[in-house]
Amino acid sequence: VFQGKGILEDGSIHDIIATASSEEFPCFVKEERYLYTSGTRREVSSQALRRLRRFRKHDNQLIAENIKLNLLDFKSYLEDSEEGNIKGGWFRGMAVRNVEVAYLGGGAVTESDDWDRYETSGGEISALRIDLPLGDLEDEPTKVLLTRDGNCVVYKNVGEFGLLNIAMPLFNAVEQFIE
């Protein structure tokens, strides 16, 4: 716990009480090329990786950079391979009047005129909501959200090992779409 005084730009003085929390940061390395974190928030993993990069020893240092995925090409790959069904997408930076961010979702959403208009409007797909057929045909598909910066949210409580079993094949498929 930290206690102190804070002075705002207007000159007013306020009491400050801040608490620190301990966060877990499970991190896995794949072939000394990719780092994966599991069960953590983006802010926690970003801060942890930033701190690890600053810790430098001659023979032991983390050299890592964030990735960007081409989700437009990955969307085409999923449609051709049938490894997952796209159920929605977030769009940003489109040249659509009065629209900064848009989400389109639905059963055959990528076949809609709106999807085509947003996809060709000069912006980018910033996230895809995908159903992954991971079980038997009768099983409900596993719902995930894959973001352009490589975050994968699994909408299922399956524990750390289960999360990795779901995310790793998806990451293996998307590796070829790193920009």
CB proximity list for 53: less than 8 A, separation 6 or greater: 61, 62, 63, 64
Please say whether the beta carbons of 146 and 152 come within 8 A: yes
* Secondary structure letter of residue 63 according to DSSP: -
The encoded tokens of residue 74 equal: 């990955």
CB proximity list for 122: less than 8 A, separation 6 or greater: 93, 94, 95
Mean pLDDT of 29-47: 79
Helices 71-81 and 159-174: crossing angle in degrees, nearest 10, is 100
Please say whether the beta carbons of 166 and 132 come within 8 A: yes
Quick: pLDDT tens for 106-165. 988 999 998 998 888 888 999 999 999 887 667 789 999 999 998 899 998 888 888 888
| Whole-angstrom distance, CA of residue 44 vs CA of residue 41 | 5
The encoded tokens of residue 108 equal: 């055959």
| Whole-angstrom distance, CA of residue 46 vs CA of residue 109 | 32
Residue 75: C-alpha distances to residues 24, 40, 67, 83, 177 (Å): 32, 26, 17, 11, 10
Burial class of residue 150, CB neighbours in 10 A (0-12, 13-18, 19+) = middle
Burial class of residue 60, CB neighbours in 10 A (0-12, 13-18, 19+) = exposed
CB proximity list for 159: less than 8 A, separation 6 or greater: none
| Lowest-confidence pick of 36-45, 102-111, 127-136, 169-178 | 36-45
Mean pLDDT of 80-91: 93
**pLDDT beyond 70 at 1:** no
Mean pLDDT of 93-97: 84
Quick: pLDDT tens for 44-81. 888 888 888 787 777 777 777 788 999 999 999 999 99
pLDDT computed for residue 171 by the predictor: 92
**What are residue 119's phi and psi, to 5 degrees?**
-65, -30
